[in-house]
Amino acid sequence: MKKLSALAFLFIFAFSSAQVSEFEKADSKYDRKLKSLYKKYPKPNDERTKQEWLLTEAKIASYQNALEKISEEEKKMITDAPPPMAPKITKEAEYETGKAAIQKLLNEAVDLTFLNFAVNPYKVTLKFTLDSKGNVYNAKVKGNNEDVNSFIEAGFYRIKDKGKWKPAESNGRPVLSVVSLPLQLNFSK
């Protein structure tokens, strides 16, 4: 049993690291190409602006591809099957240090300066499934801008292992649940 638990832990750790590294690769590639572009065009002009936008679109596409890969991998890792009839939840799921802590972590993990996006506060709803063991999967962000939502979702995947979630309970037993968090994020740096 200990070997099985250790193997499961290693698999989850490797998967989490792979998720974050996809975003880091996209960030690194964007930063390298942007630096090169600024060397080629030190002063702002139409061509530089056009190339900046193309680089931004490529970064957005990289993030969205990484999120799709995560979604496919998560489908393979689901540990709980939803019951035929959802049990009545007697205690809601909660983040160990509270909603304000998860909102602060998410604000710190999301950098949208390259988009020149400064709608403050930006209101979103973060939804994800939390299994009976406290594992998070199938995170989705709903807000007014799909590109921004992708970066917030990626930010959530970057921080999801920085704290623990306590699963919802039904009559004292942990159960699978869908968590929906309305959040207000501030992006001005």
pLDDT higher than 60, residue 100: yes
Token reading at 25: 């690769």
pLDDT over 60 (residue 18): no
- Percent of the chain exceeding pLDDT 70 equals 81
Residue-level pLDDT at 11: 46
Give the residue with greater pLDDT, 125 vs 5: 125
Nearest one of 157, 151, 161, 123 to 139, comparing CA atoms: 157
Question: Does pLDDT of 119 surpass 80?
Answer: no
Token readout for 117 is 């996006």
Q: What Rg value do the Cα atoms of the chain yield, rounded?
A: 19
6 confidence band (pLDDT: 50, 70, 90):
very low
pLDDT for 84 equals 60
- Say what angle helices 2-40 and 46-77 make with each other, to 10 degrees: 170
Question: Is the pLDDT at 116 greater than 90, yes or no?
Answer: no
The per-residue pLDDT of the chain, averaged, comes to 82
Predicted confidence at residue 22, as pLDDT, reads 86
Q: Which tens digits make up the pLDDT trace of 167-183?
A: 999 999 999 899 998 98
Does the pLDDT of residue 127 top 60, yes or no? Answer: yes
> Measuring CA to CA, how many Å separate 18 from each of 14, 21, 44, 179, 180?
6, 5, 36, 24, 25
What pLDDT score does 4 carry?
Answer: 43
pLDDT of residue 112: 77
**pLDDT of 82 over the 70 cut:** no
85 close to 150: Cβ distance less than 8 angstroms: no
- Angle (CA) 64-152-180 rounded to 5° is 110
pLDDT at 13 over 90: no
**C-alpha to C-alpha distance for 174 and 17, rounded to whole angstroms:** 27
Burial class (CB in 10 A: 0-12, 13-18, 19+), 11: exposed
Q: What is the pTM of this model?
A: 0.74
Would you state the pLDDT for residue 114?
72
For the cut 50, the answer to whether the pLDDT of residue 28 exceeds it is: yes
